[in-house]
Amino acid sequence: MRHFLLIGILFISVFASCNKVDTREQENQLRAQKHTDTVFTILTKNWVFKIPTQSTALQTEVSDWKAWLEFRNDISITPVSSISAFQKKSEKLSNSSLNLFNEIPTNLNRPDIRSRITVLNTLLSNLEMYLTLDKIQEKQIIRLIPQINTAIASLVSQMEEIVVKKSIPKEIGEAEMLQALDTLRLANPTFTEN
C-alpha cells in the first residue's frame, strides 16, 4: 500500500511538472509569434526600394541588358504574405544583383560600374542574411534598406554620367591626343581596346 502511495505521489508530481513545461512552451511560442508579427509589420512598412528615373538615352543604352531589366522588376515588387515571402524575395534580389555582372553593355562595362554593382550585391546579401537569422534583426534591416537605395541611386547616376559623357562630341585632334596619352597602349603596342 505504501508503494502505491509513493507511486501515486510520484505520478502526480511528474504530471504537474509536465504541465509547467507545457505552459512555458506556450508562453515562449506566444512571445515568438508576437515578435514575428512585429517584424512582419515593420518589414511591410519599411520595404520600399526606389530606382531613380532614367533618361531616355540611358534607357536606350540598357534596353538589351536583361539582367538589369529583371533586377528592376524584382526590386519593384513587394512581398505581402509572410516573413518567408520576404526571405524568398531577399534571396531572389541577391541572386538578381549577382546576375547584373552578366552581359553588361559594352559602354557601361567599366570598373566604376562593376564596383557599384559589387556594393549593391553586398548590401542585398546582407539583407538576405539578416532575414534568414533565427531571430530577425529588424533594426539592421531598417538601416540597410536606405543604404540599398543609395547604392541603386549611385549605380544609376554613374550610368547616366557615362551616357552623358559619351554624347559629348570630341574636338578635332582629341582622339589622337588621348591615344598618345594612353600609357597602356604605349607600354604594349599590340594592345587593342574591346
Structure confidence at residue 2 (pLDDT): 64
Distance in angstroms (rounded) separating the CA atoms of residues 98 and 118: 8
Structure confidence at residue 37 (pLDDT): 81
- pLDDT band of residue 137 (cuts 50, 70, 90) is confident
Question: Looking at this protein, which amino acid is placed at residue 22?
Answer: D
The number of helix segments (H) and strand segments (E) in the chain equals: 8, 0
Q: Please write down the HEC assignment for all residues of 42-108.
A: HHHHHCCCCCCCCCHHHHHHCCCCHHHHHHHHHHHCCCCCCHHHHHHHHHHHHHHHHHCCCCCCHHH
Q: What predicted TM-score, i.e. pTM, was given to this entire model?
A: 0.75
Average pLDDT, the chain: 83
Given a cut of 60, whether residue 75 has pLDDT beyond it is: yes
Distance in angstroms (rounded) separating the CA atoms of residues 27 and 138: 22
Calculate Rg over the CA atoms of the chain.
Answer: 28
- pLDDT band of residue 39 (cuts 50, 70, 90) is confident
